[in-house]
Structure 1
Amino acid sequence: MKTSKMCAIFSNQHEYSQLKPLTDERALSTLAFAGKYRLMDFPLSSIVNSGITQLYTLISQEKVRSYLDHWGGGKEWGLDTIGSYQYLDFYQNLMARRSRGEDYFDDLILFLKTCNVPYVVFIGNKMAANFDLKAVLHFHQSNENNITPVFKRVDHRDLAPDDHIFVLDDDNVVVGSHEAIEVNNEGSFNLSANVYVMNTDWLIHELDKAQRSGASYDVSERLATLAVREKANAYEYTGYLRNIHDITSYYQANMDMLQKDKRDSLLYGNQKIITRIRNEVGTYYDKDSEVKNTLIATGGKVKGKVHNCVVSRRVTIGKDTEVESSVLMAGDHIKSGAKVEYAILDKNVVVEKGVTIKGKPETPVVIKKGAVVDKDFILD
């Protein structure tokens, strides 16, 4: 019987200016999602649900605090136990070593050798999805691949310019790859989910060869190229997936969670989504409050109307307020008489009495962290 032992590389490389100001002080991975989660919870949960306890994480040193604040010691994910192995590295280190002509993948190669397991999974940070990595590994073993990429068939509107698009033959063998920025027509495309299962010895060899030739330090880019070279059999992911790369995609992903079928597919399937535990009291609902089709986390107070919203922890919504089709992050305070519609409010935003904030479904208003809004903000 073939072993199912894997280690993991968790890449937090993707950052997009189109997500500012939400990512001014935090990494994309740590954006709040569906009230109580962070985006990083999804790849991490996919990793630990497959039994992986050895994790190499690549992050940007510029936004390390937001990552570590949520990660803690990895207790909730079971990665602080005996036998687990964590290695934290920075993309800036890889860049600096490459610029100096040094072997920039040596730390990653050392990690893979230390783990001493036959398979490794690479997973990115921007897909809100729930991957069954054991199923991908079984597919990988059955096809006797060196590398198995995961893809999802998506509409052209769900692509970011730097996404990789796979060209597949009738048997889902990868015969080509290009960046989404090259797409100039409508329709659906084979989006790389930025998830790859590989043979560890093969990956070590390819990383060593890449650094000796001075290839890009971008591991994801390298793996997409190798999937084409190897004519790899691609695994099709058919569950819920939202590609987070701008304000609209982030907003829509949260709104998706108000639809039961999408929420169940992502959050309540066979694989549990794990997040950091917060011990708080439940949210208080005043007798005059009106809450419909809304996800609300703990520790808040609701006295007004809240319809079709995603509300994080410790949010206060005052009397005679109307909040609709919006995403509210932790610690927001909507004072009496205020109206908020089609908006994303970052943490600790205060909306003063009687103020109106109104965006549009395709262009929600974004209020930056800690702002005090004392004047109407209405998009034309």
Structure 2
Amino acid sequence: MNNVLGIINLSINQPLLHELTYSRATATVPFGGRYRLIDFVLSNMVNSGINNVGVLTHNNYRSIIDHLGSGKEWDLDHKQRGLFILPPPNMNSSGFNGDLQNFYGHLEYFERSTEEIAIVSSSHMICNINYTEAVEFHKKRNADITVIYKELDTAQENLSNLIMLELNENGRVVSMTENHLKPDSNKVYMRMIILRKELLVDLVKKSVAQNYYDLVRHVIMRNLDQLNVYAYEYKGYLAIINSIHNYYKCSMDLLKPEVWKALFFQRGLIYTKIKDAPPALYAKDAPVTNSLVANGCIIEGTVENSILFRGVKIKKGAVIKNSILMQNCVIEGDSVLDRVILDKEVFVTSGNQLIGEQATPTVFTKKSSI
């Protein structure tokens, strides 16, 4: 799909991630033992044959630059096209008004791109999707805008604070509603849209000229009657990372083989920044069960139903259960951790007991000493 421009819209963080986004953008929140959230959408675009990707950043974008670099891990370090990290434009006295402000600040990038179609996506909807079929759907329907959605089980999923779609019999979007605790629809808008690049540029210019600055509310929802907006159904696995509760739940779901296979092996590979490290080292009498353990870990204690990122050290006598330990955490002996999330480089001294709740795990910020 050389004729498609990928746009990863990071202009608005997910505030309900709280401690995990104090020092980083939502897109670089660690996930799955070695990945960052942005790895999934970026890999999806690359696996779909997109070789020109712009990343619209906002807060804490140093972590974006550090993680993505030149884009070589995604084969996007080209002389032409490739990966473009687009910093937020200078804000005037009114400050940040919405994500269209970032689009407007980089109109030259969009106008100079030669692609005819644009795919705009956020980074907190985790899935393994090939956009080729969605683009073909968009063309066949002669749609102005195609939104991508997923049907979820309303009995098992918390659908509050999400945008729900209602469609007519032809698959055209007739309404988009948000923030309903008990929505009538189970069709979740995945924050992914397909449209002609020229139309995107035109809508951005017209909206900003009228002091409208929200892509979803002011470009899509406001124009449902004027534009042909269709919906393409994605049927694969979807993880929505918009709260600490969902982050923990979706991370623990990765311990199920069927979820791991659906996310990492069904379509294309998920790429991330390479960090060389030796394989994990397990002591002879260190029981480890039903856990994801990244390279560089040294485990001398007990680990059950947990996710350990690179370089984690579990000392003899420590017990880790139902927890997420990010890169380079150190757990001293005789400590017990259950239902906790430790950000990077947290040090837990000997004899501590850290116990979280089932629905709301306890989160400790980066470089804490406990």
Candidates 277, 284, 294, aligned match of 1:280: 277
Give me the whole-angstrom Cα distance separating, in 1, the residues matched to 2:339 and 2:115: 48
Shift of residue 171 of structure 1?
Answer: 3.2
Amino acid at match of 1:315: V
Could you say which residue in structure 2 is the equivalent of 1:221?
A: 217
Amino acid at match of 2:224: V
Q: Deviations for 1:323-366, whole angstroms, at most 9, x for unmatched residues?
A: 11100000111111111111101111111112111112211111
Candidates 39, 46, 52, aligned match of 1:54: 52
**Alignment of 1:126 onto 2:124:** yes
Amino acid at match of 2:215: V
Candidates 8, 11, 16, aligned match of 2:9: 11
Shift of residue 86 of structure 1?
Answer: 4.1
1:314-353 matches, cutoff 5 A: 314-353=311-350
Aligned residues: 365
Provide the aligned C-alpha RMSD in A: 2.4
TM-score under structure 2 length normalisation: 0.92
Sequence identity (%): 28
Q: Secondary structure of the residue that 2:190 maps to in structure 1?
A: strand
Q: Deviations for 1:5-63, whole angstroms, at most 9, x for unmatched residues?
A: 10111111332332121111111111110100000101111111112222222111x40
The answer to whether the 8 Å contact 1:14/1:125 transfers is: no
Shift of residue 97 of structure 1?
Answer: 8.7
Shift of residue 188 of structure 1?
Answer: 5.4
Shift of residue 4 of structure 1?
Answer: 5.7
Q: Deviations for 1:90-129, whole angstroms, at most 9, x for unmatched residues?
A: 44647769989xx975544322221111111001121111
Give me the whole-angstrom Cα distance separating, in 2, the residues matched to 1:96 and 1:47: 36
Q: Secondary structure of the residue that 2:230 maps to in structure 1?
A: coil
Unaligned runs of 5+ in 2: none
TM-score under structure 1 length normalisation: 0.89
Candidates 245, 248, 252, aligned match of 2:245: 248
The answer to whether the 8 Å contact 1:174/1:228 transfers is: yes
Could you say which residue in structure 2 is the equivalent of 1:30?
A: 28
The worse-fitting range, judged by mean Cα deviation, of 225-234 and 17-26 is 225-234
The answer to whether the 8 Å contact 1:18/1:247 transfers is: yes
Q: 1:293 to 1:222 in 2, by over 3 A?
A: same
1:364-379 matches, cutoff 5 A: 364-373=361-370
Give me the whole-angstrom Cα distance separating, in 2, the residues matched to 1:344 and 1:366: 5
Amino acid at match of 2:63: S
Amino acid at match of 1:168: L
Q: Secondary structure of the residue that 1:221 maps to in structure 2?
A: helix
Could you say which residue in structure 2 is the equivalent of 1:378?
A: none
Q: Deviations for 1:175-217, whole angstroms, at most 9, x for unmatched residues?
A: 01122x1x1426752111010111122222222222222221x
Amino acid at match of 1:127: M
The worse-fitting range, judged by mean Cα deviation, of 91-100 and 254-263 is 91-100
Amino acid at match of 1:35: G
Give me the whole-angstrom Cα distance separating, in 2, the residues matched to 1:186 and 1:205: 32
Q: 1:261 to 1:105 in 2, by over 3 A?
A: closer
Give me the whole-angstrom Cα distance separating, in 1, the residues matched to 2:47 and 2:369: 41
Unaligned runs of 5+ in 1: 374-380
Q: 1:50 to 1:353 in 2, by over 3 A?
A: same
Give me the whole-angstrom Cα distance separating, in 2, the residues matched to 1:95 and 1:11: 21
**Alignment of 1:112 onto 2:110:** yes
The answer to whether the 8 Å contact 1:321/1:335 transfers is: yes
Candidates 73, 76, 90, aligned match of 2:73: 76
Q: Deviations for 1:278-311, whole angstroms, at most 9, x for unmatched residues?
A: 1110110000011111111011100111111111
